[in-house]
A and B are shown apart, each in its own frame.
Chain A
């Protein structure tokens, strides 16, 4: 049994297609391991019984032409799933059961996959350590009391801990790539507009993107192929020609020009990350790619810009949680009193903090100084990338400025927490695709990731580069199953 959960998605699909394994066997194996892994707190909602039913049904009439035939899969609890509770990690949605399905998850089920349950995340995806979840911290399978990163912390933990063969997260400022980096897994944030936002609990509409999180690049490519689609229900969805990311995956990156941005050498970055980056540069060079030094001069302004844009949008996106239509309601003497108590009790501290920041930067007298300013700087950041992409095909950087940290280590200092996303945030601001792949370990044995940033809609290219690097890096995640007796 334990063999099953060790298999990659690609292997499992192969095994089910060759009838070496049934969907029920696979589903059962992941459920059993999930049951033994409660300590990780990766799940908010388990949907195991119905998963087994669906697997049985699949086995009775298996459609083996599908891309994810009978594959069980848990997803971040930010995706609305029909008739399955969806909380966004918040008390305010603690009892919310959608009557509809997000487009991304719909795409997944349409390819034959089966929902295992909903994975823990930072409340409304606001966090970098999964510590803001109303449903508690998530343990990183790498080590006890280590954060898995965030906001897709439950997703990262579940993939790294093999509670699910693959998963999806969302990434607004690094929420897929940073936890992937912290857990030794692969995470792709697609180009803005590539995956539909319909049915995903919104954090910051101009930045949010769903994306795959996997154990390897090939699995990641396969899931990206499934979830990326044009959707007329999302006005920001873009109708472009999508490639067959897994079928077209190649390790031939000869002649590709890879940019190395000097501004990503930030003060205080541990030497082991600098070294890892150098190693990464050598790997791509070995693969026949050309290294070109580039400059992204506004990199240092990305985080301040992000901490205006994202909270501003969030302050408005989260106004709908008011205790009227769904979700938590506190008693109030009148309507306004009810609102104020509901939102004060229903939202956690970080969410409240960000709503306050967002409200402030949009409020009269401050809009120009903050919000408008940030939008202008956002253009400068995008222009940096546009210029760089005249010279290079992709950009290689570290994924994070450090490895995973201890639970509680950064909760009292919001700014130091925000600095986690320093390398990932510019990518969201520019709407570009970025992938984090595990590339090595630090002295503590914690995984470290490298990020490859692509041109818009060029997911195939960064997947290829990641695929080629993955082969050379030959990363092995050091997971001891410490949480299983």
Chain B
């Protein structure tokens, strides 16, 4: 079978050409890239055969930043310019970072968008830019290994990431020049990696303890559909905290004071991590550290002592497990399979406590470091169009409730947590002053009653409300959460049917304008490359649009279109076909947009038809039985 699927050279322009896709696990400590090659999803190693890329970026004055192992090696000597664990800062505000930052040895400066910047020898950089460097490095690795440009990627995020953290991740992908097909929740990705191997059905719990985050998700798997029932977690809990607990213990034993230098602290963290890793297989480990004054300390840590140091941390993961079970409406005994994800699940105490809690031996067949990237690669391969007949579908949920600020600093929930996405809710508002033409909505995310206890996502300023007497306007605001878990808001005044202009002020994010500027800056030195690439992209897109349009028109164009509508579409398509062979990517883009506009009513009719057909097909089935 497989032999027949290998395409002949020279057939590359065929419409079902294999497109290169990758799954990226952008982790707190390590990142990975995986791809489906010859039907097998596997992580891609670098030239030295290393699969894990340390999520560390070192900045230099006047030269490009260094990412990965080389950067990690410099962390002890050059801590201020070497950024690690940047995932913890994604989508966070200046105040949050002050809280997280007392444990991170960096210099922070206030950025313009409520987003903190890190001061480095290479200039002030945002967490989004640091993440983009990591993504760029993985993109290069994938493109070299696979021998071509990536058509699209799936990037994983903790299920518990809020809107701002997701948006920041998407922005980083865009900055790295990636076509992000989807943000996929890490536990769901892990389930995909296991599910396809074993075609299991039933309820699965995915326990994901990474370097800096903890997630628990409860999924129902049925005939290729992965339906997330609930998710819970803690974005500030992970293996790093175990390292820190061990480092504290060493400091106490070795008499190292809390105000030790950055280099000393980094060294302690590395020694602590090595000790933790050794204790997954050994009952005791010997530890040596150099003090700042040049003296040495040597000691021993047993697994029993280690278990005691991390016991409270492990217990803290069980609270979210209980909550996720409640939200899913099931008991621990109904969970058939427990999947372990994240390097920290190698710790024996973690495995023992999880087995005890769910009364099931957790699955560890796939390397817990790689399982997320592997699942993401499988999803990317499907989304990019390489497996048109695949039945797999992932239905995720929104992890935290979305709400609006109301009078007195209270929140009103619009979309409750664990609602399946995509989802949309509309709510009506009115004006409270005569002639009022603008209003402001404050959207927050979280479960608490008070606005101050939730995360502020954005303020939406509505303009162009037609002036009327107080209370007469009916403004319908629609909150749409897409399949990535990202919020989009639109507003309309119903009595006069006027669309309101919306200005979004993200609380901790980059505006579109800022991203455009960064993109321009990062590509300034490569204009020619960029133009050539844009042209190729637009040509591929033009071919896709024309191909899809022609096959649609052949199927039902005569039935669904009036003569004048058909003529408009044909004219737009002819223009696009002519421009496609030119060299002006802007002209091609414009022609694509014209085709899409001309055919928008047609596309909508086809979609409605398709819904009706789906319903009708069903009634026929019912009639038969």
Whether chain B is bound by chain A comes out as no
A residues near B (Cβ < 8 Å) are none
